């Protein structure tokens, strides 16, 4: 039944944006409220899972029966994710991780120089957290997100294959009524075996349906 579906299973979820410091008062970040990841954490806990939510900076309150680890940067999130993923049954990467970070972080506030009309900040690549989790042996059942503005299905399938994920949840973020700061979302879930569309609904309701789908696919993977 629904309530005890994930009894005793360890579920690790990343959520929210990461912040990449430029200097003590400035950073680069991504658009992300964290709502989808938090809703998934709440839904997994309701199903009896032991949930660790690794969260970037958000305005959200941690759901009941979820242990939250707060992180700021992608580097911090990567470290926490790798530590918890080793013991996880299911890993869900719902965070909007910054792909790049400034190579050098100034130790004091950068000042404008008179006559300077441009400045250059060199960015270096952040680790791909979910790809590194999916490369573990044994690896948890690994679920990613693909937030795209175009060619949503194709990019999602490419990511599933390239990052060796077990499942990917795709949403079209070019539509303002869903995604990002919205309370609602509409997604398509891709795995090697299926493609399932979830119509427009609240993120809370959608999270419950997605956790059921993930639990089913996890069970099938265990049985194979």
Binding annotation for CTP: 99, 109, 127-130, 145, 159, 163
Among 145, 167, 187, 213, interactor with ligand C5P by CB under 6 A: 145
Query: Under rule CB under 6 A, how many of the chain's residues touch ligand C5P?
Result: 14
Could you tell me the smallest distance in angstroms from the CB atom of residue 223 to ligand C5P? 25
x/- contact string, 105-134, with ligand C5P (CB under 6 A)? ---------------------x-xxx----
Query: Which lies closer to ligand C5P via its Cβ, residue 106 or residue 131?
Result: 131
C-alpha distances (whole Å) from 125 to each of 97, 129, 130, 132, 223 are 11, 12, 14, 14, 37
With binding defined as CB under 6 A, does residue 146 bind ligand C5P? yes
H/E element, 123: strand 123-125
Q: Say how many residues make up the chain.
A: 224
CB atoms within 10 A of CB 125: 9
- State which residue, 6 or 167, has the beta carbon closest to ligand C5P: 167
b (16+ CB within 10 A) / e for 33-69: bbbbbbbbbbbbbbbbbbbbbbbbebebebbeebebb
Instruction: Report if residue 47 touches ligand C5P, rule: CB under 6 A.
Output: no
Contact status: 159 vs ligand C5P (CB under 6 A): yes
User: Which of 128, 186 has the CB closer to ligand C5P?
Assistant: 128
SS (H, E, C) 35-88: HHHHHHHHHHHHCCCEEEEEECCCCCCCCCCEEEEECCCHHHHHHHHHHHHCCC
Q: Quick check: 36 binds ligand C5P (CB under 6 A)? A: no
Among 4, 7, 30, 151, the active-site one is 30
Q: Determine whether 126 is an active site residue.
A: no
Residues 73-112, one symbol each (x = binds ligand C5P by CB under 6 A, - = not), give -x------------------x-x-x-x-------------
**In the structure encoding, which two tokens stand for residue 121, read together?**
């900040």
> Which strand (E) or helix (H) includes residue 32?
none
Q: Where on the chain is the footprint of ligand C5P (CB under 6 A)?
A: 14, 74, 93, 95, 97, 99, 126, 128-130, 144-146, 159
Positions marked catalytic: 30
């Amino acid at each position: 039944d629904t309530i005890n579906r994930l009894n005793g299973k360890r579920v690790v979820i990343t959520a929210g944006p990461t912040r990449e410091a430029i200097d003590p008062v400035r950073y680069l970040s991504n658009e992300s409220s964290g709502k989808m990841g938090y809703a998934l954490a709440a839904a997994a806990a309701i199903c009896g899972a032991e949930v660790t939510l690794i969260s970037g900076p958000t305005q959200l309150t941690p759901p009941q029966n979820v242990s939250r680890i707060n992180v700021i940067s992608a580097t911090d999130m990567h470290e926490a994710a790798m530590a918890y993923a080793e013991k996880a049954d299911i890993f869900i990467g719902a965070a909007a991780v910054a792909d790049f970070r400034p190579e050098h972080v100034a130790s004091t506030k950068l000042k404008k120089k008179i006559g300077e009309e441009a400045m250059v900040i060199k960015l270096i690549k952040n680790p791909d957290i979910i790809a590194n989790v999916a490369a573990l042996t044994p690896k948890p059942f690994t679920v990613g997100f693909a937030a795209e503005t175009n060619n949503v299905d194709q990019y999602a399938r490419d990511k599933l294959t390239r990052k060796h994920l077990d499942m990917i949840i795709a949403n079209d973020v070019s539509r303002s009524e869903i995604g990002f700061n919205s309370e609602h979302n509409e997604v398509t879930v891709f795995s090697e075996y299926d493609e399932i569309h979830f119509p427009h609904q609240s993120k809370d309701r959608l999270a419950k349906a997605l956790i059921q789908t993930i639990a089913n696919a996890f069970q099938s993977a265990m049985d194979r």
